[in-house]
Chain A
Amino acid sequence: MKRFNHEGHTAHQFDVELNDVKHKVMNMGGLVESMVHNGLEALMNMDAELGKQVSDDDRRANQFELDIDEDCTRILARRQPAASDLRLVLTIIKTISDLERIGDEAEKLGRISVKLANEVDVPTYYKELRHLGDHVKTMLRESLDAFTRMDVEAAFSTAAKDEAIDQEYATFSRLLISHMMENPRHVSHALDMSWCARSLERIADHSCNICEYVIYLVEGKDIRHANLDDMRKKLL
């Protein structure tokens, strides 16, 4: 397996700049992770306060995206990175746009939780969502870990989890449909739940993307839209 290291440049300042932007990405990842966690908690506990906080956090996440984008532009213009450095900068640019979307999805969770908190007579079946949410949270954390450690092995195994989550989403969707047929009064709630599940599924997709970027970063091979298993056999 390839060792990945973005330090040791003759121009030491370049190391500092790359480290700096990488740390910012990690901070942004942490923020987004907590947003997802809080959004889910707010939903589960009908906590409007927490839901509102997620919305506020989303603004911070957006600011992070702008900052990091600017940093990357500056590095591209001034350092003209090549090879692994170039891939690192590209990966960061793509990763933050995925992180920002994850933030948006988390914000949706928060918004719906605020809406639900103000209503009465909320059915309890939405608790089923927690299962899906936990899986998505795990996947997001693992993909961020893979990015931090530049760990291809972990990226592959994390990316592979996307399929299981898709299935879980499908199961939950079927559950919602049956609920709606049983209880037409709850259609409006069920649709909200469907949105939430949809958001969580999107978060998993974005996490999967991040894993793919990590693999591209380390191996120099773009594995998007390819068969994961084949690629894995080829690379590892």
Chain B
Amino acid sequence: MNDSSTEADTEKLVSMNIDQDIPHEQTVEEIVASLGDTVGQTRVDNPKMSCTDVNVFYADKQAIFGVDLDIADNEVISMIGPSGCGKSTLLRCLNRMNDTIPICKVTGDLTLDGENIYGKNTDPVLLRARVGMVFQKPNPFPKSIYENVAYGPRLHGLSRNKADLDDIVVTSLKKAGIYNEVKDRLDQPGTGLSGGQQQRLCIARTIACSPEVILMDEPCSALDPIATAKIEELIDELRENYSIAIVTHSMQQAARVSQRTAYFHLGKLVEVGGTDDIFTNPKHELTENYITGRFG
């Protein structure tokens, strides 16, 4: 009895949010409060990274509301949701890229291998070497392909000599599945490659630092379908060695590449679960509406 009444409330609130012609507009906080607890299993048996009650504020505006989420070893977890739902914000918290924004404040526990990444002893530079990131727009440095990949290892002193470095570069390019395409022109600018190749070069660059987790922020949004397919194939191969969190606007992509899917709405983690379940039978109505293309 009790259950059904709250659900009806949720439904009403949500529909009010969607239909803009209702005069009284709700604050984000009210809507978030009405969303209730996260549906599904937020915890896994073998967490690589884990978030507990994470809140993110931009000045006075709260962007993330009490998110609990684990990222397991050797899994691809995709984060989906409408624009401005906080999925990218959460992703950037995972390697402290938000540190560069002075008004951004993060509370709650974020851990990597059980270690608090916002702790006093954690250095963001070291953290970013362990948690690599691939961005929305392919952003190779305006340097040669070799230099692009060698930059990270050189920065962190991962190679003892030139031969060592050469080895890292070639291995990384091979892992990123682009070596055969560029092996004859390692000294040419990385910006001269096609969009898909550039993005794989960026992935190679990230891999070269031998991270443990790779964060991907809409890595295929600027690419054509063939290049996208290649990246997705690559993500699947990388899963053997890395944990991967991917933010994507393409639900089909989330469905294709990930083992688990998390759906965010207005800064709240609404539902998380196996990708198979989320895409055939989501539990939360908002997830259902988003996945079936009813808003967003």
Contact = CB atoms under 8 A, between A and B. Distances in A.
Contacts of A80: 252
B295 A82 contact: no
Contacts of A77: none
Contact of A9 (B280, B287, B294): B294
A81 interface: yes
A195 interface: no
Interface in B273-296: 278-282, 287-289, 291-296
Nearest to A7: B294
Interface in B69-120: none
B276 to A, nearest CB: 11
B32 interface: no
Q: Is the interface of A mostly helix, strand, loop or mixed?
A: loop
Interface string A127-160: 0000000000000000000000000000000000
B288 A9 contact: no
Given A80-B252, A82-B251, A220 B292 contact: no
Contacts of A221: 281
Contacts of B280: 82-83, 86-87, 220
Contacts of A86: 279-280
A80 B278 CA distance: 15
Interface in A92-123: none
B31 interface: no
A82 B294 contact: no
Given A220-B280, A220-B281, A84 B292 contact: yes
Nearest to B296: A10
Contacts of A219: 281
Contacts of B291: 82-83
B295 to A, nearest CB: 6
Contact of A10 (B282, B287, B293): B293
B281 A87 contact: yes
| Count class of interface residues, chain A | 10 to 19
Nearest to A219: B281
B143 to A, nearest CB: 40
A85 interface: yes
A85 B280 CA distance: 9
A87 B291 CA distance: 13
B39 interface: no
A81 B255 CA distance: 12
A236 interface: no
Contacts of B289: 8
Contacts of A83: 278-282, 287-288, 291-292
Contacts of B279: 82-83, 86
A85 B292 contact: yes
Contacts of B293: 9-11, 14, 82, 85
Contacts of A9: 292-294
A83 B294 CA distance: 12
**Which of A11, A86, A219 has the most chain B CB atoms closer than 10 A to its own CB?**
A86
A122 to B, nearest CB: 52
A84 B288 contact: yes
B140 to A, nearest CB: 32
A10 B255 contact: no
Interface in B37-74: none
A85 B251 CA distance: 14
Contacts of A82: 251, 255, 279-280, 291-293
**Which of A9, A82, A86, A220 has the most chain B CB atoms closer than 10 A to its own CB?**
A82
Nearest to B289: A8
Contacts of A81: 292
**Which of B251, B281, B289 has the most chain A CB atoms closer than 10 A to its own CB?**
B281
Nearest to B287: A83
A181 B251 CA distance: 66
A-B CB proximity, top 9 nearest: A220-B281, A82-B291, A83-B291, A85-B292, A8-B294, A82-B279, A83-B292, A83-B288, A9-B293
5 contacts: A10-B293, A11-B293, A82-B280, A83-B278, A84-B292
